[in-house]
Amino acid sequence: MASRLPPLRGVLLWLHFFLLIGLGTAYKPLSDGFLRAIPSPGDEFNIDNSTGILAPLLIPRVPGTAGQVVAQRHLVDYFQRELPKWTITWQNSTQKTPTSKNTELPFANLIIRREPPWVKPGQTNFLTLVAHYDSKLKPDGFIGATDSAAPCAMIMWAAKVVDGYAQQMYDEMSELGEGGDVDMDMGIQILFLDGEEAFETWTDTDSLYGSRSLSNFWVNSPNPPAQKFYKYKTPLSQISLFMLLDLLGSSEPSVPSYYTTTHWAYRAFSNVESRMRSLNLLESSPPSPFLPDVNKTMALGGISDDHLPFIWRGVETLHVIPQPFPRVWHTSADDGPHLDMKVVRDWARIVAGFMLEWLDMMEVWSGEEPEAGSTLAIHDGR
């Protein structure tokens, strides 16, 4: 905790404040030893493991159907059982769709948060991991394994990896009396969004039911006035990065960098991948990296997805969706057996690594590093 200072008073408080701002943006890469310590989901992701993370989601999950209730229960049960310190809230709406005639269908977004214990409402900045958990009405029996059962599972796994370190970070900062109106009031927020898919044909009104509802709700939910230096006016401004995972789990994905304003985050993400590859920590061996575009961003805008209602309200987005889409996209072949499990497990670990780095967890890492000169040692250039 060398870079975290004990609390100071008066004039020195300001010094502390500015130092923390500097440190908060320092962004320290994870060490090789830390990257090695990120576990693989292993059997938890087996597509026939009914007590695992992924298999229970590999069913049709259309809004308003029994399958969707099963998926909702699985998401909630997992966090209640494995990650009891995370708070779970719903943001629900009902909306008509082109196929529901005059009936309002229920749409339920899940908001799951891990916050520092000292924060007041509206004080935390959230690294926000997002995926949609609904599945498409057509074709009949559509599973949506990449779309987005597997991305939900990746996020669930990564949350478990990060949880223990978050606890350690919060404990140490609490002990030192730190935290409160600073950049370091970092939390993790997971959004499992409903109703991403169109029921008939993708239009502005037939799609993104859940994300439109949530972004609307949040823009109209002002936070209480902040105590000191920072003001996050609404939950939207508390999102430091909206990291949306979609259509992941097929072989040889290639995810471009869509937005110049978050290209630096893309680079950091890509760097975690390439470092994990060079340390032989990943199982897949694709011809090119999952995140190849460290030196360029897309010339022309992005893809219509759950981030749009948030982007329109100024939220910074990292859209993790491959180009081209998986071959199985929106077909009955987008199911468990068509997933490339090595790729699915690799994504989960890369996402976990990125989260740990974003959350500055080198501050609490005290694990083993390979000895200098040993065959395992790879100089990381820092």
Ligand X SMILES: *[C@@H]1O[C@H](CO)[C@@H](O)[C@H](O)[C@H]1NC(C)=O
HSE at residue 164, side-chain half, CA atoms within 13 A, is 9
Question: ∠ CA(165), CA(171), CA(175), 5° rounding?
Answer: 150
Region binding ligand X by CB under 6 A among candidate stretches 38-46, 131-139, 145-153, 340-348: 38-46
Beta carbons of 1 and 175 less than 8 angstroms apart: no
Query: How many chain residues are in contact with ligand X, going by CB under 6 A?
Result: 13
Q: Which is nearer to Zn ion, 142 or 218 (CB)?
A: 142
With CB cut-offs between 5 and 8 Å by kind, which of Zn ion, ligand X, none does residue 306 bind? Answer: none
> Of 134, 178, 194, 196, which one is the catalytic site residue?
196
- What torsion, rounded to 10 degrees, do the Cα atoms 324, 325, 330, 331 define? 70
Alpha-carbon distance of 48 to 42, in angstroms, equals 13
With CB cut-offs between 5 and 8 Å by kind, which of Zn ion, ligand X, none does residue 147 bind? Answer: Zn ion
Q: Which of 294, 298, 303, 333 binds ligand X (CB under 6 A)?
A: 294
Q: In the complex, what is the shortest distance from the CB of residue 318 to ligand X, in angstroms, rounded to a whole number?
A: 18
**Structure tokens belonging to residue 17:** 């404040």
Positive or negative torsion for Cα 306, 340, 155, 259:
negative
Alpha-carbon distance of 93 to 214, in angstroms, equals 9
Q: In the complex, what is the shortest distance from the CB of residue 347 to ligand X, in angstroms, rounded to a whole number?
A: 18
**Structure tokens belonging to residue 332:** 């009955």
340 binds Zn ion (CB under 5 A): no
Alpha-carbon distance of 131 to 190, in angstroms, equals 8
In terms of Cα–Cα distance, which of 16, 45, 24 is closest to 341? 45
Q: Which is nearer to ligand X, 55 or 184 (CB)?
A: 55
Q: Which is nearer to ligand X, 219 or 291 (CB)?
A: 291
Task: Give whole-number Cα distances, 82 to 28, 123, 168, 170, 190, in Å.
Answer: 28, 26, 17, 19, 15
Q: In the complex, what is the shortest distance from the CB of residue 369 to ligand X, in angstroms, rounded to a whole number?
A: 26
Show contacts with ligand X in window 130-149 (CB under 6 A): none
Question: Residues 40-59 vs ligand X: string with x where CB under 6 A?
Answer: ---xx-x--x-xx-------
Q: Which of 285, 295, 374, 375 binds ligand X (CB under 6 A)?
A: 295
> Of 246, 293, 357, 363, which one is the catalytic site residue?
246
Q: In the complex, what is the shortest distance from the CB of residue 52 to ligand X, in angstroms, rounded to a whole number?
A: 4
Show contacts with ligand X in window 80-119 (CB under 6 A): 90, 92, 106, 108
With CB cut-offs between 5 and 8 Å by kind, which of Zn ion, ligand X, none does residue 288 bind? Answer: none
Alpha-carbon distance of 240 to 355, in angstroms, equals 12
With CB cut-offs between 5 and 8 Å by kind, which of ligand X, Zn ion, none does residue 51 bind? Answer: ligand X
φ, ψ of residue 26 in degrees (nearest 5): -70, -40
Q: Which is nearer to ligand X, 25 or 295 (CB)?
A: 295
**Structure tokens belonging to residue 31:** 């060490």
Alpha-carbon distance of 76 to 72, in angstroms, equals 6
Show contacts with ligand X in window 56-75 (CB under 6 A): 72
Q: In the complex, what is the shortest distance from the CB of residue 42 to ligand X, in angstroms, rounded to a whole number?
A: 8
Q: Which is nearer to ligand X, 29 or 52 (CB)?
A: 52
Q: Which residues contact 81 (CB under 8 A, 6 or more apart)?
A: none
Classified as helix, coil or strand, 12 is: helix
φ, ψ of residue 197 in degrees (nearest 5): -75, 150
196 an active-site residue? Answer: yes
Q: In the complex, what is the shortest distance from the CB of residue 197 to Zn ion, in angstroms, rounded to a whole number?
A: 5
Show contacts with Zn ion in window 127-156 (CB under 5 A): 147
Q: Which residues pair with 149 in a beta bridge?
A: none
By CB under 6 A, name the binding residues for ligand X: 43-44, 46, 49, 51-52, 72, 90, 92, 106, 108, 294-295
By CB under 5 A, name the binding residues for Zn ion: 147
What are the residue numbers of the active site? 196, 246
